[in-house]
Amino acid sequence: MKPAKSFYPTQPQPLTEIALRREFLKDLYLIFSSESGTDSKLVTIKAYVNPLVGWAWMALPVFTLGIGICLTYRPRSLTSRQETSRQQYLAAEG
């Protein structure tokens, strides 16, 4: 992993490039923050861990499937259910 600061002639400020390692249970971000002015061997690197990012992406197909089921479900009308129940009741008595 190699976080860096890039210097471009068209930009007044250096651009920070992060290093990213993705795993299913977590994402690791490394950011090159600063370099020591007196000694060029000392640098500051910030590390961020975002847990369970993969689970958030796994939720998308589950939500899509649930929405698809909800949109295709067509309930019978209340009157036809009542009529069917009444016919079954009369058939059981007779």
Q: What is the pLDDT of residues 10-32, one digit of tens each?
A: 888 888 888 988 888 888 999 88
Which residue type is seen at 16?
T
Q: Which residues of the chain have pLDDT under 50?
A: none
Residue 32 CB neighbour total at 10 angstroms? 19
pLDDT at 41: 75
Task: Centre a 10 Å sphere on the Cβ of residue 28 and count the other Cβ atoms it contains.
Answer: 14
pLDDT of residue 29: 92
pLDDT value for 79: 63
In 3D space, the residue among 31, 27, 26, 44 whose CA is nearest the CA of residue 2 turns out to be 31
Q: What is the pTM of this model?
A: 0.52
